Structure 1
Amino acid sequence: MCSHYESVKIPARLKQYFGAAFETPAFSADLWPKRQGLFVRRPPELNAGDDAVPDREAVLGRWGLISARTSADGMAKAEKLSTFNARSETASRSFTFGNAWQRAQHCIMPAEAVFEPDWRSGRAVPTRFSHVDGVPLGIAGLWDKFRDTAGQWHESYTMLTINADQHPLFREYHRTGEEKRMVVILPAGAYGEWLAAGADDTRDFLHPFPADQLLAQAVIPAAGSSFLF
């Protein structure tokens, strides 16, 4: 599963590849769970008949989805859970992810790269995965919103994952004996369809990304620094 990625942060790049505007990128591009990150979605008001509403919007939210079903007295527990990835096989039946799945609240995380550990040497070697052509990756996910004890609503999101035991590249990563997983990376031409798809069509998009379109590079941490996943 992915617990670290590098977000697209340059507004012009976000607009070019994802068709969404975000003029004040006041967030870190180095994303870890529970931090504020950027995701792209269809605005909830899109079907209200207002021509001024864009087809897509970029939103800041918590990486680690908290369901709108979560009650105020359950918020502290929900915030401790690891909800930055959602298993596509079970997400529709999950309390945490079920609301977003059933409401087809699809989103895309614009990423320059994702990171995974390579354990083939017997130790975890940080590895950066990016597109071979240098274009950003569009990671499929779900978004939801939750209300805090003060009554304020907050956006949150998660990345969808699939089995990667047979993937030519991702099957080589993570610990030996554990199931191999990978995030769902969408083909660029499918962004619009994914954002507009209904709940019944969600699984039609959950496919492994071609290995020959990905570049895997080992990361050598700077001296005296630590690199965690």
Structure 2
Amino acid sequence: MCGRYTLFVEQTDLEERFDACFADSFTPRYNMAPGQRLPVITNDEPETIQRLEWGLVPSWADDDAGGIINARAETVHEKPSFREAYDRRRCLVLADGFYEWAEASGGDGKQPYRVAFEDDRPFALAGLWERWVPKQPETAQTGLEAFGGGDPDASEEGSDEPDALESFTILTTEPNDLVADLHHRMAVILDPEREREWLTADDPRDLLEPYPADELRAYPVSTAVNSPANDEPSLVESIES
């Protein structure tokens, strides 16, 4: 799975790399976590880097609880929670590394590792996004209002549509040889030459393959990353002696 990741490249470098501009300012992040609003590029606004909440809530859900942070690439085109988003609402999730946890030596808990390119260059993870709108309760009309005889301005009060929640999930696939030592799933890193194809192709399932292991590195980091409250540069430093 993918439960935490990083993005600390300079804003100008990110905008040049992805040929898109931030809708607002960007702050480097070293421990991105579910429930946070994080940078993505959606298929309907490919020239803008916007923030969506990590944890996809299907449009048909009764409430916005329990957002789904990962979706299996093998079945994403057929699962009810993702099928429509796969067809119509894909996104690039911007990152420059992600964390995985492996059993520590001696069975003493789990050791976090960061997986990234040697030069920490940014990349895009395959994602889906969704727009969920809270259901408005039905209200019964009584008295003259039911026949149009009430205050003509009263119907305008409280008529604003409720705020929509735009959220995303990250696709995972079988791990490459590097990540297999850490976890049985890994986030789908898209080939840079085909990122835009993920946003536009009719059925881009062939893009959802494990990224080559020889282009990535994995190294142990501090267990401070276990808490989403921690978000600082020291989290991405290797603790190897």
TM-score by length of 1: 0.79
Query: How far apart are the structure 1 equivalents of 2:226 and 2:104?
Result: 17
The aligned counterpart of 1:140 is 126
Distance change in 2, residues 1:131/1:226 (3 Å)? closer
The aligned counterpart of 1:127 is 113
The aligned counterpart of 2:195 is 191
Secondary structure of 2:22's counterpart equals coil
The aligned counterpart of 1:59 is 50
Deviation at 1:158, TM superposition (A): 0.6
Query: Share of identical aligned residues, percent?
Result: 29
1:227 aligns with 2:226: yes
Q: Which digits, 9 at most, give the CA deviation of each residue in 1:14-34, with x for residues without a partner?
A: 212111100523667231111
The aligned counterpart of 1:36 is 37
CA contact (8 A) 1:39 1:110 kept: yes
How many residues are treated as equivalent by the alignment? 200
1:206 aligns with 2:205: no
1:152 aligns with 2:163: yes
- Give the partner amino acid of 1:97: F
1:14 aligns with 2:14: yes
Secondary structure of 1:95's counterpart equals coil
The aligned counterpart of 1:177 is none
Distance change in 2, residues 1:210/1:96 (3 Å)? same
TM-score by length of 2: 0.75
Distance change in 2, residues 1:65/1:9 (3 Å)? farther
Deviation at 1:108, TM superposition (A): 0.8
Secondary structure of 2:217's counterpart equals strand
Alignment partner of 1:80 out of 66, 77, 82: 66
CA contact (8 A) 1:130 1:137 kept: no
CA contact (8 A) 1:139 1:186 kept: yes
Q: Which digits, 9 at most, give the CA deviation of each residue in 1:77-131, with x for residues without a partner?
A: x4224x110011222222221220122x211111021000122523311101111
When the two chains are superposed, the root-mean-square deviation of aligned CA atoms in Å is: 2.1
Deviation at 1:10, TM superposition (A): 3.4
- Give the partner amino acid of 2:103: W
Q: Which digits, 9 at most, give the CA deviation of each residue in 1:180-203, with x for residues without a partner?
A: 1011001111112111112xx221
- Give the partner amino acid of 1:87: R
CA contact (8 A) 1:38 1:58 kept: yes
Distance change in 2, residues 1:56/1:8 (3 Å)? farther
- Give the partner amino acid of 1:102: D
Gaps of 5+ in 2: 136-160, 229-241
CA contact (8 A) 1:36 1:63 kept: yes
Secondary structure of 1:80's counterpart equals coil
Secondary structure of 1:91's counterpart equals coil
Deviation at 1:2, TM superposition (A): 0.8
Deviation at 1:60, TM superposition (A): 0.7
Query: How far apart are the structure 2 equivalents of 1:220 and 1:93?
Result: 38
Query: How far apart are the structure 1 equivalents of 2:90 and 2:23?
Result: 22
Query: How far apart are the structure 1 equivalents of 2:185 and 2:80?
Result: 21
Matches within 5 A, 1:157-172: 157-164=168-175, 167-172=176-181
Gaps of 5+ in 1: 45-54, 175-179
Deviation at 1:134, TM superposition (A): 2.5
Range with bigger deviation, 14-23 or 142-151? 142-151
The aligned counterpart of 2:158 is none
